[in-house]
A and B are shown apart, each in its own frame.
Chain A
Amino acid sequence: MNIIEIGGLTKKFGDFAAVDNMSLTLKEGEIFGFLGANGAGKSTTISMIASLLRPTKGEIRFLGKNIAKHAHFAKMNIGIVPQDLAIYEDMTAFENVRFFAGLYGFRGNELKARVEEALSFVGLGDKHKELPKNFSGGMKRRLNIACAIAHRPKLIIMDEPTVGIDPHSRNYILQSVKELNRMGCTILYTSHYMEEVEEICTRIAIVDHGKIIADGTKEQLKAIITDSKEIWIDVKSVEGLNQDRLKDIRGVLSVRIEEQRIKIQSRAEIANLNDIVQQLIRDGMEIRAVEEQAPNLETVFLTLTGRNLRD
């Protein structure tokens, strides 16, 4: 069954269309990845699903019901983990979760049990009496999640839930997302980290300029890019590299630099590796490794949108 059905969704701010005639469906039990660069329209779409913004045009249905007409039903069954930490620093972890869960009508022992359950789930059960100001970034992120799940929503919207945290906490959160999904929650997940999306999402939509430009499983998306390849060349230093000359080589589509790694996207059918290596040697690069990559999500994203996800 579809948990979310979006049809002809448009949101305009003045003349600017942040979301432009978007249509999309999310099936129950999915972990759905929502990929897009800054300003692509992800957050605006999420805000409309969470009833934070009203669509200019179009419709969103939650479990078959129009959320504009059944806002209470939708809100009771949706939990949101905002990108920015949304917690009260002057209230303990327990009080934070209790306050937000209380807004869903739970009181007394039931409320207490749900709060304890949510805190235990994110691994903060033993920290429930502490103030978030004493927490690490990762613990705050986990509390941010606990506040969104205590009312046991059917759909959890997670907007960049791992921004700015250590690898241990990130791993904990990713495992939590999978566990929530195993428990029956549908997850709508946005991230700038392509590897996270590849690891946990069962289906992915790529958003650009307010439109869905591709939608499918990882394999389906990668299959879109059959005519390009990516070559990674590790060098001692990129100082002196002339990117324009590299781009002039036949078949080269784009060149990106990531620290000491040069990432070159090229047409698959053209054998140009020798030309590329020779050009790098002429530029004085000391080559340490050369690797040809199969298309990944990042390649797909770059090919479809023409920009890097972190732009």
Chain B
Amino acid sequence: MNTLHIAKKEIVSALRNKSTFLFMLAFPIALMLILGLALSNAFSGSIEIGDIKMAYKIDRASPALTAGWENFVKAAEESGVAVEPLPPGADGKQAVTEAQYAAFADVSDQGIAYYDNSRSTVESNILQGMLTSFADRYNLEAAFASAGASSQAGSGGQAPAQLVKATSLTADSQPNSMDYYAVAMTTMIALYAALNAASLIESERTRHTIVRLSAAPVSKAEIFAGKVLGSTFINAIFIVAVMLISHFAFGANWGDHPAHVLLVLVTEVLMSIGFGLAAGMIFRGKSSHSFLLIFIQIASFVGGAYFPVNDFGGFIGTVSYYSPLRWNNSGVIETVFSGDTAPALWAASYNLAGAVVLLAVCMFLIRRRETI
């Protein structure tokens, strides 16, 4: 009960703080509007098909599969997609990681193992769609063949070209600038929760109220849990508000799985609060705020808050994978625009793991102190 009592007080205090509204609501909405309008041309959704390269390896395949695959390769090349056999001795996965190819397909009678590079989301989606269509078509033909029907009917040279057409890659499945910045700004303010969290415990110290809290029959764990709960709740409220405003005012698309999207964002808030609390306890005072501001700005920059970072390679590309914004943006965008909830669940899992570790560190530090 004391946890809820403390959480309630945190919520009331946050709602009375005008700067909280300014920072958590006005700031992301304004930035979303400015970036969304200013950079709308960068999100036209078109891509040069000729740029897409996929490597493949085919072995232990039946003659029918080999023939079907060759037809697929030919038709794909006619559409401007280069599908090349993997050079002897090369490692397909490594080649994709190094961005030599957008994807690698390992084809055998057991199926197609497909590896893509998440830095090339659009190219990967196209290739994945083409391969899915190929697999469907090939299975259909095999079924016809086993049923004694003519395997030539409706197939041959025509079919692979239709395969490409069969995959729907409409503009709606890609985020426009407002969609992108709605997600990016929301994940960014979730990260900013760390800034307030840094002073959750330390502010009690500066206001001397820590004396009363510590003298009351309340455990350190209850105080800590109340603070985290209240802060998570209030940040979640602001995030839902930003989502609703971006949707109804700017038409941002939040997809068909809002619960999954919210799960990603709330777990990101929890992780950020853990991070902020830990920073507040380790650095204390204003230096924790400076540290967090620098960290959040760098994480936002390399994590795609101000522009998409999918195409980045090299050092920044590598660093971006360590930004919480990167995996949260990807998790939300892929869930919203592909309809697949797995990326959201992965992102939420990373967040939760981070939150557990960081909150455990905070509890350890608190237990070592005589007063919270």
| Chain A residues engaging chain B, CB cutoff 8 angstroms | 50-54, 71-72, 75-76, 78-80, 82, 84-91, 95, 99-100, 102-105, 107, 147-148
Contacts and interface: CB of A to CB of B under 8 A. Distances in A.
Given A51-B214, A104-B217, A90 B13 contact: yes
A91 B12 contact: yes
A54 B302 CA distance: 46
A75 B217 contact: yes
A88 B71 CA distance: 74
A75 B216 CA distance: 6
A50 B217 contact: no
Given A53-B370, A86-B212, A91-B12, A103 B17 contact: no
20 contacts: A50-B214, A50-B215, A52-B211, A72-B217, A75-B215, A75-B217, A76-B217, A78-B215, A79-B215, A80-B212, A84-B211, A85-B208, A86-B207, A88-B13, A91-B9, A91-B13, A91-B16, A99-B9, A105-B217, A107-B1
A84 B208 contact: yes
A62 to B, nearest CB: 13
A89 B6 CA distance: 16
A52 B214 contact: yes
B257 interface: no
A80 B370 contact: no
A95 B12 contact: yes
Contacts, number: 73
Interface of B: 1-2, 5-6, 9, 12-13, 16-17, 207-218, 370-371
A80 B211 contact: yes
B370 A54 contact: yes
Given A53-B371, A95-B12, A105 B215 contact: no
A86 B209 contact: yes
A80 B371 contact: no
Nearest to A89: B207
A102 B214 contact: no
Given A52-B371, A91-B13, A99-B9, A86 B217 contact: no
A103 B2 contact: yes
A116 B2 CA distance: 21
Given A86-B209, A99-B9, 13 more contacts: A51-B215, A52-B371, A75-B216, A79-B215, A80-B215, A82-B208, A86-B208, A87-B207, A90-B13, A91-B13, A100-B216, A103-B218, A105-B1
